Homo-oligomer: A and B are copies of this chain.
Amino acid sequence: MLENNDNIIQSVDRAFKILDVFNLKEKELGVTEIANRLGLHKSTVFGLLRTLEYWGCVEQNQTTGKYRLGLKLFELGNRVIEGFDLRGLALPFLQDLVERYRETVHLVVHDRGEVVYIEKAEGPSTIRMYSQVGHRAPMHCTGVGKAILAFRSKQDIDTVIRTKGLQPFSPNTITDSRRLHEELSIIRREGYSFDNEEIEIGLRCVAAPIMDNNSKVIAAISIAGPSMRMTDEQMQNLIVPVKETAFKISQRIGYSPLS
């Protein structure tokens, strides 16, 4: 869990700061706009953008002169998880779960104190949760986050709490460190976790961890839906199928319950 921010190469750091200001809401930004937002001079930003453009990490809208993210990033991003068989191996299992319970299923991995969505299978309902592969979410208020966190060392858990905090996202978010530790302890014992509207009111899910061949928890899956459909009874019904699916995926990537 990286914490120091010394000895960072300024121009490279700034280049990534630039890439990071682009998001769904602001897909296209001008030189001046970026400069203001980052508190840099526009000619500095321009030079960085030129380099990023040379690499294809940003591209310029020829009519407006503004910049947007480029496909080189897509290429690099996909290279990260290719050969990383988890994603491809898991997909059929996720789809099977969707088919049986008609709610959206996600696969996430842990990265630097957060979870990253690496695959999803969407349910058929018109009312569905919004989510996007590649997005990040906090660990303390998601089913998948808690499922993964529960199986890390106490020290790791405390590092996450300390560096990321326990920001409240809804009235149900666990914001007390002691409470979180208690909850994680239960999850560790039961092998599954709930998200009871902890990140967003109206959204509930059931999640379970995925283990690799060293019995290390490396990922998690969840099935999520609106509280209207995810009744207490339905949540209970989902525990076994979610755990079973997570178990099948674990086995598929080499996990053996004996070792």
Contacts and interface: CB of A to CB of B under 8 A. Distances in A.
Interface in A4-55: 5, 7-9, 11-13, 15-16, 19-20, 22-24, 27, 47-48, 50-55
Interface string A55-99: 111000000000001111111111111110000000000000000
Contacts of A53: 2
Nearest to A27: B83
Contacts of A23: 79
Nearest to A3: B54
Contact of A81 (B2, B19, B72, B74): B74
Is the interface on chain A under 10, 10 to 19, 20 to 34, or 35 or more residues?
Answer: 35 or more
A132 interface: yes
A122 to B, nearest CB: 10
A219 B76 CA distance: 20
A135 interface: yes
Contact of A69 (B5, B47, B48, B79): B79
8 contacts: A2-B56, A9-B50, A19-B76, A24-B79, A72-B111, A75-B77, A75-B136, A77-B80
